[in-house]
Chains A and B, each alone.
Chain A
Amino acid sequence: MKHNLKFLLLIAISAFVVSSCNNNADDAPPVKEPGVSYIINYGSYSGDKTTITAYNKETGNVTNGFYENVNGVAMVSNVQHSASLNGKVFFAGNNPDQLFWVDGETFEQNENGITEDIIKPRFVAGQGNYLYISCWGGDIWTDENVSYIAKVNIADKKVEKKIALPGGPEGLAIANNKLYAALNYKDSVAVINLSSEEISYIETPAVTSYFVKDNNNNLYVSLISTFSDFSEETGLGFINTTNDELENVFKLDGVSTSYVNILSSNNDFSKIYVMTSAYDANWNLSGAIATFDVASKEFDSELFIKDISGMNGLSYYNDHVFCFIAESVTGNGKAQTYKTDGTLAEELNTGIAPYMLLTVK
């Protein structure tokens, strides 16, 4: 407990320092990354729910059960995705379905979440006073027409509009005042003009799942093969957001179909790390990370890491690749951090089923 309090104090001081730096941005060097980030642990759908692991990159300390430490109660949803916007951290949770939020500095939850018109939320992207949440809307695997985008007015704390979007929108990205939605049940990416809310589609050779955005606001999208929509054209697709065209497809076998963070880029966007899976020497299915070199537009011939049993997501933070591992959903997982040359740097204990890392902007 004493240790936790000290750590909380340290986080508060760090947050204060970070915010002080921001207030005097002209005088201080820019802070690219906050000192504390949060690992989201999905938990178990039928048991323990999402927990948060706070990670301080300066000290290397991890604090598991961070949300519960702050709020005195555990989260009640399985968080599918999380994003920070306007000083708050928003969580899209399943089972129960809700959008809820905590203060970005204190992590305190002081308000009840939104549940109306949030059905099977998948991903959160924000701009201005609005959050856009991809929602499956029901059993998408039986009816592809039930899905939609929930447009949430953050100030009013309600879903202002449901934008019907068939095809099971999953990952989202905002670029050039357009919302891009990767469709998990249709070989397309949907493009929604955020002013007119008109929808157009970019055809893809496979169903899509998540995006990373480059420094020019263009998008890389993961192309995957699923049980309901098999494809051999898996890999990464490059979308030019100026003309909304799929300009290139970079093939890669075994791109993960997991509903977790499977893509991440490094800070200067020279590399994109892609979670894949393959059978190991003993024919056990294991995870791996492939590296896409943005300059050469090729995947490295050697995997960045491989034979990771229970790989459950990846992120890039503190100049390291974070590999999240969950062999089961009944026991805690871990995060392994790798230097950019692929050597293991650190192993962090997390909660059950870690899958993404969140930095609070």
Chain B
Amino acid sequence: MRRLVYFIVILFSGFGASAQNTHSLQDTIVLEEVITFGNLRKYQSGAKIEQISSKQFEFNQDGNLEQLLSRTLPIPFKADAGGLSTIRIRGTAPDHTSINFGGININSLTLGHSNVSNIPTYLFDKVGVQFGSSSSVNGSGSIGGAVHLGLKNNWVDGFKAKARVSNGSFGEQLYGTKIFVGNGKFESVTRAYYYFKKNDFKFKSTLKDFESGETGFTDTQKNAGIENYGILQEFNYRITENNFFIFNIWYENNWHLVQQNMAVNYLNPEKREEYFDNHIRIWTGYKKRDKAFKYEINGGYVFDNASHNNVTEDTIKTQRIIAEAFIEHDFISNASYKVGAKASRIKPQVYAYSTNLEYEDRIDFYASYYHRFFNRLTATVNLRQGFVSDFNVPFSPSAGLNFIALSREKYILNINGNIASSYRVPTFNDRYWVPGGNPDLKPEKGMNYELGSSWNYCSPNVSGNIKANLFFMNIDNWILWKNGGAYWYAENVQKVHSKGFEFMTDWKYKVMGLISNLGFNYSYTNTKRVESINESPALNRQLEYVPLHAFNLYSITTYKNWDLTFDEIYTGKQFTDEEDKNILKAYFLLNMGLSYNWLINSTNKIRINGMLNNMLNTSYQSSWGYAMPGINYKLSITYNFN
């Protein structure tokens, strides 16, 4: 019975919609056998790792990563109306969250972060988020958190296909397809999408007409269109269930007109600023996991390219080749270790870099240890040491515990804790941009302390969980660009403390044929600049673009073939600079969706989905001075074959 409870706990702790494959150890909660990010939790006891449920994922298939995560997890974003969005986990900067596709951190090596508006959820099967530092596992940049974009092994025997068409307000369109072909051993999975949005929404301007004296007039956003497309191809071959090859190639092409602020939009309506980027990401590997002694050999290649206003001679390109190998040994029934190395060579081609910079080599060595004591306590230790050409990388250890404090037939209470150090190697721009790049920068360093508990309950008609986490994070040598008089230059400027509390609960119950899923996430994030070499008036004040309070609520109710969903997002007030002015007001957004699953026959299914966003037509800003759309809709039809 206890095993059943464990299973259900896994099911409803956010990982459970699809079939599970691997549970190498009894109380280890393992992410599904997702090709590209595998087993995250096993060696990170006490770390907070969440995965978006399949229902929530399904409702947000037309959107991007920001739309998905802001509705389902307590994560704030700084965003405009679709062209640019950056993630801010636990008060950290976008550069402090790695976004991982297989063994590739897709963050730009020049800027340090990703535009999460350009990460389409349609191409992926799962998204997992780790809150807090995880550099000892994920390497440089995972100070505030890590996002994992996942693909799921299907091992299709035959042919399956999906096609999706979506249409929404302001000229929004998405066309997508997923094609699965295989014979149970070999499979080819093709996923492709095309997204377009004219983005010509109306909004209430904050400007004043000095001749009429009018303020608050209605304006229409201009020149903020988006056009993205991408294709992700998988070729997988399995020898046995736990012995297989994978090959993934993801080509992404993103174009958007840089949204102008409200003043420019009104006064310079012709202003048009294009931003284009494209990427090739390849991740391939051989995985042998069928014995106590396991190993993987992986490799990758990444090409990133960007241009502004079609100025192709101002090259902004980087290329990387990556190789990784590790062994994992379950040397006794309750303990295992993992040892590996990851190497990469990076070749930047950026017009503003010193010509002396041809390439940079990086190699990380890591080791992890897992031990389970008395079926109640698991302990993990991770060690990582990176080496970068002409740059000193700090040693990065972490350790965690998970303790099953109570275990009854219907519920389990876990208490966990984790201490992790983290670091970020400065971006290429920070070190090599001419003028102002500073090769003598120190790495940003972080320490993360985490204490949490989760209570999981399961009865025949009701199941759910309550999770609470306390965290404290100390980030030192935070890099900013300083005014040097002649030009700006990169410098280790400030030290930031972030502490807070996160509460998450998710419940599923059945009543009179209704299956309902209710969830609530709240975060209290107290992030302060405690030291700065700049004369800052905002020392010991809440950091810019970090809401002290944020929460979201969601409900998904399923009745027969119908799904009805509501989600509400509250984002507290945010400072936008170091002065106590220009403060973004708190805002509340209400969204709803309704879906109908039409089972035509055993092989053909159609899902019709409608979404109504910002139902209260809230006028708000997520980035100072930039308009956001009011009420809008989205309709989609998905056809599933087999």
Contacts from A to B (Cβ < 8 Å): 44, 46-49, 71-73, 76-77, 95-98, 109-113, 115, 139, 142, 227, 254, 256-258, 275-277, 283-288, 308-312, 326-332, 334, 352
Most chain-A CB neighbours within 10 Å: which of B483, B484, B489, B535? B483
Nearest B-chain residue to A77, judged by Cβ: B263
Evaluate contact between B434 and A330: CB separation under 8 angstroms.
no
Q: A112-B209, A332-B537 are in contact. Are A96 and B268 (CB under 8 A)?
A: yes
A310-B482, A328-B482, A328-B536 given. 13 additional CB < 8 A pairs?
A: A110-B211, A111-B210, A254-B486, A285-B485, A308-B485, A310-B484, A311-B483, A326-B483, A328-B483, A328-B534, A331-B535, A331-B578, A331-B579
The listed residue (B267, B480, B482, B536) touching A98 by CB distance below 8 A is: B267
How far, in angstroms, from A47 to B271 measured CA to CA in the complex?
18
Evaluate contact between A112 and B211: CB separation under 8 angstroms.
yes
How far, in angstroms, from A309 to B352 measured CA to CA in the complex?
24
How far, in angstroms, from A288 to B487 measured CA to CA in the complex?
13
A222 CB, min distance to chain B CBs, angstroms:
12
Evaluate contact between B576 and A47: CB separation under 8 angstroms.
yes
How far, in angstroms, from A341 to B435 measured CA to CA in the complex?
33
Residue B577 interfacial (CB < 8 Å): yes
| Interfacial residues of chain B within 348-363, with CB under 8 A of chain A in the complex | 352
Residues on A with C-beta less than 8 A from B544 are 330
Evaluate contact between B491 and A284: CB separation under 8 angstroms.
yes
Evaluate contact between A256 and B267: CB separation under 8 angstroms.
no
Q: A73-B215, A332-B579 are in contact. Are A258 and B486 (CB under 8 A)?
A: yes
Evaluate contact between B435 and A227: CB separation under 8 angstroms.
yes
The listed residue (B210, B482, B483, B489) touching A112 by CB distance below 8 A is: B210
The listed residue (A96, A310, A328, A330) touching B263 by CB distance below 8 A is: A96
Residues on A with C-beta less than 8 A from B210 are 109-112
Residues on B with C-beta less than 8 A from A98 are 267-268
Q: A257-B486, A327-B482 are in contact. Are A48 and B263 (CB under 8 A)?
A: no
Q: A48-B582, A76-B207 are in contact. Are A277 and B485 (CB under 8 A)?
A: yes
Contacts from B to A (Cβ < 8 Å): 207-211, 215, 260-261, 263-264, 266-268, 271, 309, 311, 313-314, 352, 434-435, 440, 480, 482-487, 489, 491, 534-538, 544, 576-579, 581-582, 624-625
How far, in angstroms, from A288 to B486 measured CA to CA in the complex?
10
Residues on B with C-beta less than 8 A from A44 are 577
A183 CB, min distance to chain B CBs, angstroms:
19
Residues on A with C-beta less than 8 A from B309 are 139, 142
Cross-chain pair count, CB within 8 angstroms? 132
B492 CB, min distance to chain A CBs, angstroms:
11
B35 CB, min distance to chain A CBs, angstroms:
39
How far, in angstroms, from A113 to B267 measured CA to CA in the complex?
9
Evaluate contact between B267 and A76: CB separation under 8 angstroms.
yes
Nearest B-chain residue to A279, judged by Cβ: B484
The listed residue (A285, A326, A330) touching B577 by CB distance below 8 A is: A330
Q: A97-B268, A115-B268, A332-B537 are in contact. Are A275 and B485 (CB under 8 A)?
A: yes
Evaluate contact between A76 and B263: CB separation under 8 angstroms.
yes
A204 CB, min distance to chain B CBs, angstroms:
19
How far, in angstroms, from A258 to B581 measured CA to CA in the complex?
27
Q: A258-B486, A275-B485 are in contact. Are A310 and B625 (CB under 8 A)?
A: no
Residues on B with C-beta less than 8 A from A283 are 440
Residues on B with C-beta less than 8 A from A113 are 267
Task: Give me the 5 closest cross-chain CB pairs, A-B, nearest first.
Answer: A285-B484, A287-B485, A331-B578, A277-B485, A76-B263
Residues on B with C-beta less than 8 A from A111 are 210-211
Evaluate contact between B486 and A285: CB separation under 8 angstroms.
yes
How far, in angstroms, from A334 to B215 measured CA to CA in the complex?
32
Residues on B with C-beta less than 8 A from A76 are 207, 263, 267
How far, in angstroms, from A334 to B579 measured CA to CA in the complex?
13
How far, in angstroms, from A115 to B434 measured CA to CA in the complex?
33
Evaluate contact between A352 and B577: CB separation under 8 angstroms.
yes
B528 CB, min distance to chain A CBs, angstroms:
14
Nearest A-chain residue to B538, judged by Cβ: A331
B434 CB, min distance to chain A CBs, angstroms:
7
Residues on B with C-beta less than 8 A from A326 are 483
Most chain-A CB neighbours within 10 Å: which of B266, B311, B434, B482? B482
Nearest A-chain residue to B487, judged by Cβ: A257
How far, in angstroms, from A328 to B215 measured CA to CA in the complex?
31
Residues on A with C-beta less than 8 A from B484 are 277, 284-287, 310
Evaluate contact between B536 and A331: CB separation under 8 angstroms.
yes
Evaluate contact between A96 and B537: CB separation under 8 angstroms.
no
Residues on B with C-beta less than 8 A from A276 are 485-486
Nearest A-chain residue to B440, judged by Cβ: A283
**22 A-B residue pairings within 8 Å (CB atoms):** A44-B577, A48-B577, A48-B581, A96-B263, A97-B271, A112-B210, A139-B311, A142-B313, A256-B486, A258-B485, A258-B486, A275-B485, A276-B485, A284-B482, A285-B485, A288-B485, A311-B485, A328-B480, A328-B482, A331-B537, A332-B579, A352-B577
How far, in angstroms, from A225 to B483 measured CA to CA in the complex?
18
A77 CB, min distance to chain B CBs, angstroms:
7
Residues on A with C-beta less than 8 A from B313 are 142
A329 CB, min distance to chain B CBs, angstroms:
8
B337 CB, min distance to chain A CBs, angstroms:
44
B579 CB, min distance to chain A CBs, angstroms:
6
Residues on A with C-beta less than 8 A from B577 are 44, 47-48, 329-331, 352
How far, in angstroms, from A97 to B268 measured CA to CA in the complex?
7
How far, in angstroms, from A227 to B487 measured CA to CA in the complex?
10
Evaluate contact between A142 and B311: CB separation under 8 angstroms.
yes
How far, in angstroms, from A76 to B264 measured CA to CA in the complex?
9
How far, in angstroms, from A257 to B434 measured CA to CA in the complex?
13
Evaluate contact between A48 and B486: CB separation under 8 angstroms.
no
Nearest B-chain residue to A328, judged by Cβ: B534
The listed residue (B314, B434, B485, B535) touching A312 by CB distance below 8 A is: B485
B452 CB, min distance to chain A CBs, angstroms:
33
Q: A76-B263, A109-B210 are in contact. Are A330 and B578 (CB under 8 A)?
A: yes
B246 CB, min distance to chain A CBs, angstroms:
41
Nearest B-chain residue to A68, judged by Cβ: B581
Residues on B with C-beta less than 8 A from A286 are 484-485
How far, in angstroms, from A98 to B489 measured CA to CA in the complex?
29
A102 CB, min distance to chain B CBs, angstroms:
10
Nearest A-chain residue to B491, judged by Cβ: A284
Residues on A with C-beta less than 8 A from B211 are 110-112
Evaluate contact between B486 and A277: CB separation under 8 angstroms.
yes
Evaluate contact between A115 and B267: CB separation under 8 angstroms.
yes
Nearest A-chain residue to B579, judged by Cβ: A332
Evaluate contact between B486 and A142: CB separation under 8 angstroms.
no
How far, in angstroms, from A288 to B544 measured CA to CA in the complex?
31
Nearest A-chain residue to B576, judged by Cβ: A47
Residues on B with C-beta less than 8 A from A257 are 486-487
Residues on A with C-beta less than 8 A from B314 are 142
Most chain-B CB neighbours within 10 Å: which of A47, A288, A328, A332? A328
Residues on A with C-beta less than 8 A from B260 are 96
A230 CB, min distance to chain B CBs, angstroms:
11
Residues on A with C-beta less than 8 A from B311 are 139, 142
Evaluate contact between B486 and A312: CB separation under 8 angstroms.
no
How far, in angstroms, from A309 to B582 measured CA to CA in the complex?
26
Evaluate contact between B485 and A352: CB separation under 8 angstroms.
no
A147 CB, min distance to chain B CBs, angstroms:
16
Evaluate contact between B483 and A47: CB separation under 8 angstroms.
no
How far, in angstroms, from A327 to B484 measured CA to CA in the complex?
8
Nearest B-chain residue to A118, judged by Cβ: B268
Residues on B with C-beta less than 8 A from A329 are 483, 577
Q: A47-B576, A111-B211, A327-B534 are in contact. Are A312 and B267 (CB under 8 A)?
A: no
How far, in angstroms, from A77 to B271 measured CA to CA in the complex?
14
How far, in angstroms, from A169 to B534 measured CA to CA in the complex?
33
B60 CB, min distance to chain A CBs, angstroms:
28
How far, in angstroms, from A312 to B352 measured CA to CA in the complex?
23
How far, in angstroms, from A277 to B352 measured CA to CA in the complex?
21
Residues on B with C-beta less than 8 A from A330 are 544, 577-578
Residues on B with C-beta less than 8 A from A73 are 207-208, 215
The listed residue (B261, B264, B578, B582) touching A328 by CB distance below 8 A is: B578
